[in-house]
Structure 1
């Protein structure tokens, strides 16, 4: 026996085998946990963390609502497009109606203008016919009253009606018989041939040109076989005439002849004209 065996404090009490096993197990578990945590931390530090989010699965009711919403959106879009097409068609119809109205108004105005012009033309033709008939009657009267007059002389006179365009011309010419002939003369007491004719027709409201050349192309050309009282006779070519006078009927004319004769009545047979024009 040891010499210290009798002292209890020098010896540690023995632990039971079960307690030791329990401690070993706890210690091992802790170490294992720490090891796993460390390994996990190292792995997390080395690789990024990815997270997957799972979308919820649509239920039958939710799918139906989504389909109905899509149908409603499509129908609304179709309605908007239909309304836009209707608006465009209405705008186009309004523009076309406006154009058609403008065309119709233009046609109506043109028709109205054409009718007015036709009426004015008819009136003018009627008045011209009446005036022509009146002048024809005047010429007939002048021709009949001048029948039986003698040869050309300064004292020969021609009766004329009191009124009318042809009568006004002949009356004026008759009043100038016996006046002097002066080159370039335009009255009141001396004349050249074209100055006398111009002044005579002015009494009937007709503005003749001043020269014989211009007067020979004024109005309507007539043949010498179809002369009427008041026709302008010319000698020389039309447009280049050198003398003019006025036919007074019965184969006679009145003119400012020359400085030796003055204003006289003469027979066409003694000095035939080259042509004639009708200004009345």
Structure 2
């Protein structure tokens, strides 16, 4: 069986060619997986030189994780889970609702709304930092101060243009005949959305679920604006504090970094099938 490769290595034959392919693949693995392996090994290694990492451990220990726990890393991890849990649920709810209106309805100003949503992806976080902090300090209409609360980190991530655009494009490709058949059976908009449209969007939900989880989990600017004391720190923000503490060794910092990395890996593995189906569906429809 012939396996084509992007590098054209399948055309090479013989033992020297096999050795060359093995060498190239090994180098690629080391380049891409080497830093992750170094992080994993060094997190379990005893105190070491802060300027070096190792792929071959001489001994293993859990002392780095114990020291990280003593630095309240588990509390910061809990805060991150709270923010990403409620934030992702809110983001998915807003995304699918907005996408249904944009994809299946026709109303005046539709293109303008779509353009405004798209324009939010062109603004860096640094530009929005000061306006966002002012809004969170006095939320319009309800006049609630969300600064210094976890809710202040959850509400702003509820609407994300990327998720809305992905769901909108996916819903547009759903045959309108399915919606018309449901209307003939007496179903209303809510029933059609919940029983017809949403079940067909599971692949897209997997895509926005993984990207949304990663986006919220890696938030640094937003917790920096909202948190007023360490009790409201999320794990990415706490890593900055640990790094600036001279009493914290590199092993403790790497252990905390590993704890920050694992949830994203677990989320991808758990939703990998839906994620791949979503990418494949987009490729086939494109």
Establish whether TM, by shorter chain, passes 0.5. Answer: no
TM-score scaled to structure 2, two decimals?
0.22
- Give the TM-score normalised by the residue count of structure 1: 0.22
Which structure shows the bigger proportion of residues in strand conformation? 1
Q: Which has the larger radius of gyration?
A: 1
Higher RCO, Cα 8 Å, sep 6+:
2
